[in-house]
Amino acid sequence: MSCPRIEVDLRKLRHNTRTVVERLKGRGIRVTAVTKAVCGHPAIAQAMLDGGAEGLAEARLSNVKRLRQAGMTCPITLIRTPMLSQVDDIMQVCEASYNTEISVIAALAAAALRQNKVHGVILMAEMGDLREGIMPQDIGYIGQQVVDMPGVALKGIGANFACLSGMAPSATKMQALTSLANKVEGQCGPFLETVSGGNSANLTWVFGSRATGRINDLRIGEAILLGVDPITQEQIGGLFRDTFSLVAEVIETDAKTMSPSISTVHHAPAIVRLVPATSETTRIILALGNQDVDVEGLSMPAGSTLIGATSDHLVIGTTEQKLRVGSEMRFQMNYSALMRAMAAPDIQTSLHNDRPGSQANDAHGPKKHLALV
């Protein structure tokens, strides 16, 4: 098989999705699966739908078009504020979108009227992450304008956490979002079909003992794809962490000294670490670099240490003596590494276990309570 490549175990992905979906269902919350980290890969998206996700969420219109061109007919919501230059295209492929700007909503409404459609609008509230969002005191006023605007329909409100500022969702913040939903309904009239409380970072909150209030939707990507809590990076019990593996090929093995010479030139993209030279350690180079993946987001195999990386080379010290030129080495990835690797043109995607079947019971950790471990 060609290298570098990402191997995707679709059975494990379906299992992760179903486990999260079933656990959240008991709390009255549905799952919208986020596919932006995998660039809207249709087979990966389908596995998430097979696992019970009620719809898909995407940040980039090109990814949505990829899904539609593959024949996917499920609801797809654009979760990044739409660009004015794309409103006509958005109307053709997205049933709804998350919004913060009234000028953009007006453009969506005009595009919807031109195409004889009604586009769903979910207003994002700023709840402390300081990325996108309407200030809570203004969201009712914006909502009323949406209600009065032909071509669009106010479908709900949402919030985001633990992305830009790293602020974790809390019971207080979730209660505030519930109160805000009630306020918007009282001020604007229509029942809000969706109150989206956030992303994978919300799982710790939702698995707690407090009431979930009006929150009935979470946009889940990282927890399903990688089986971890985005805030702590700890494994979520019952989920697989190795759904994705990055495989790279060895292109050089030698016994060069592990220490650089005294005279060095520092290049910003490079990463250099000193690894003690021992008779048990072999220095290897793999055909993978910063242009392909976030090297800092790779988990080194047992017995291996990252020495450095440039645009096209990954240098590793390893105690594995069987590695030769042409050998392959496997890495697990964090979310940042996965996103960059899936978007890299020279990394192929290899799918495994692509036929839905009975779910396996051999997930890592106790799946009964989805406890963080």
Question: What's the mean pLDDT in 114-128?
Answer: 97
42-50 and 10-25 helices, crossing angle to 10°: 40
Residue 290's alpha-carbon distances to 103, 214, 361, in angstroms, are 38, 43, 37
For residue 18, is pLDDT > 50? yes
For residue 183, is pLDDT > 90? yes
pLDDT of residue 358: 42
- Which residue, 74, 4, 2, is CA-closest to 293? 4
Give the burial string for 235-259 (b: 16+ CB within 10 Å, else e). bbbbbbbebbbbbbbbbebeeeebe
d(CA 183, CA 66) in angstroms, rounded, equals 38
Tell whether 16 and 98 lie within a shared domain. Answer: yes
Domain containing 87 equals 9-226
How sure is the predictor about 279, in pLDDT bands with cuts at 50, 70 and 90? low
Tell whether 314 and 208 lie within a shared domain. Answer: no
Q: What total of structural domains would you count in the chain?
A: 2
Tell whether 279 and 203 lie within a shared domain. Answer: no
pLDDT of residue 242: 97
Tell whether 255 and 126 lie within a shared domain. Answer: no
CATH number at 323 reads 2.40.30
Tell whether 33 and 113 lie within a shared domain. Answer: yes
pLDDT tens digits, one per residue of 282-299: 999 999 999 999 999 999
pLDDT of residue 360: 38
pLDDT of residue 361: 38
Which residue spans within 270-358 are E strands per DSSP? Answer: 271-272, 282-286, 298-299, 304-309, 314-318, 328-333, 348-352
Tell whether 221 and 335 lie within a shared domain. Answer: no
pTM of the model: 0.90
For residue 19, is pLDDT > 70? yes
Mean pLDDT of the chain: 91
Question: What's the mean pLDDT in 23-34?
Answer: 97
Q: Return the SS3 of 5.
A: strand
pLDDT of residue 366: 38
Could you tell me whether strands 152-158 and 119-124 are parallel, antiparallel, or unpaired per DSSP bridges? parallel
Question: What's the mean pLDDT in 52-78?
Answer: 98
For residue 271, is pLDDT > 90? no
pLDDT tens digits, one per residue of 135-146: 999 999 999 999
CATH number at 68 reads 3.20.20.10
Higher pLDDT, 367 or 188: 188
d(CA 217, CA 133) in angstroms, rounded, equals 17
